[in-house]
Amino acid sequence: DTAVSQTPKYLVTQMGNDKSIKCEQNLGHDTMYWYKQDSKKFLKIMFSYNNKELIINETVPNRFSPKSPDKAHLNLHINSLELGDSAVYFCASSQGGGYGYTFGSGTRLTVV
Amino acid sequence: KQEVTQIPAALSVPEGENLVLNCSFTDSAIYNLQWFRQDPGKGLTSLLLIQSSQREQTSGRLNASLDKSSGRSTLYIAASQPGDSATYLCAVSPPYSGAGSYQLTFGKGTKLSVIP
């Protein structure tokens, strides 16, 4: 009964490949997010979706494309992977403005 | 642009000590502040959420305070235990736009080690 689940947990791939990370939440939240934690452990928002609509789209390369088929799912597709994309990617969800975030356990992406 | 600073970056204490972690933010116009715990290789666990209208929140041995006007929050951990060893992250959100989505700006965290 995991609240926010991401797959895969680890992803090792070669430069130039395309990969996807999947996220699902069973909390009934309307909003989902992708955050990136870089090698210095700094967390920064990438995208947010509210009821399948893109709300926040920070300055990330357009090789990153989020997709939300329904409000319980938010996937992240990355094209033409580069070494600098290596990081931990966290999915999260929230409901409204006053109830805080729930994070998934993260996907560690390593590009070689 | 909101910036969040956490001091110290690392802290080592003997078991049983009370300790305080500090968080400061540059823009006092926040909606809420959330403290998280991150264990190595794991996700973030929410510890406490303080709304901008609140002064503090308590959960068990944890107490978080918020002084919005001065841009500061503290996380107090009483009677620390080795299981408290983790990185503690502070995050603030801007005024809520009503769009259902709000972003968090994180500090870089304080890595806590509690020595048995």
Find, in chain A, the residue whose alpha carbon is nearest to that of B103. Answer: A45
Residue B59 contacts A, CB cutoff 8 Å: no
Q: How far is the CA of A81 from the CAs of A7, A75, B37, in angstroms? A: 18, 16, 30
> Which residue in the set A55, A98, A105 is minimally distant from B101, CB to CB?
A55
Which residues from A are below 8 Å from B42, CB to CB?
A: 105-106
How far is the alpha carbon of B79 from chain A, nearest alpha carbon, in Å?
26
A contact set with B (CB within 8 A): 4, 30-31, 33, 35, 40-45, 48-51, 55-56, 90, 92, 94, 96-106, 108
pLDDT in tens, A77-86: 999 999 999 9
In contact, B33 and A101? CB cutoff 8 Å: no
Are the Cβ atoms of B31 and A97 closer than 8 angstroms? yes
pLDDT in tens, B62-108: 999 999 999 999 999 999 999 999 999 999 998 877 767 788 999 99
> Which residue in the set B42, B96, B101 is minimally distant from A56, CB to CB?
B101
Are the Cβ atoms of A105 and B43 closer than 8 angstroms? yes
Q: What is the percent of chain A where pLDDT is above 90?
A: 75
How far apart are alpha carbons B71 and B49 in whole angstroms?
A: 16
Closest-CA residue to B66 (of B77, B76, B78, B52)? B52
pLDDT score of A97: 67
Which residues from A are below 8 Å from B100, CB to CB?
A: 30-31, 50-51, 55, 96-97
The token pair at A75 is: 């996937």
Three-state secondary-structure class, residue A91:
strand
Cβ burial A8-26 (10 Å sphere, 16+ → b, else e): eeebebeeeeebebbbbbe
pLDDT in tens, B37-47: 999 888 899 99
CA B76, B42, B39 angle in degrees (round to 5)?
Answer: 30
How far is the alpha carbon of A62 from chain B, nearest alpha carbon, in Å?
20
How far is the alpha carbon of B33 from chain A, nearest alpha carbon, in Å?
9
Are the Cβ atoms of A103 and B44 closer than 8 angstroms? yes
Residue B76 contacts A, CB cutoff 8 Å: no
Q: Which of A1-10, A58-67, B27-36, B78-87 has the highest mean pLDDT?
A: B78-87
Choose the weakest-confidence range: A37-41, A81-85, A103-107, B74-78: A37-41
pLDDT in tens, B13-58: 999 999 999 999 999 999 899 999 999 888 899 999 999 999 999 9
Cβ burial B23-37 (10 Å sphere, 16+ → b, else e): bbbeeeebbbbbbbb
Of the two residues A105 and A39, the one the predictor is more confident about is: A105
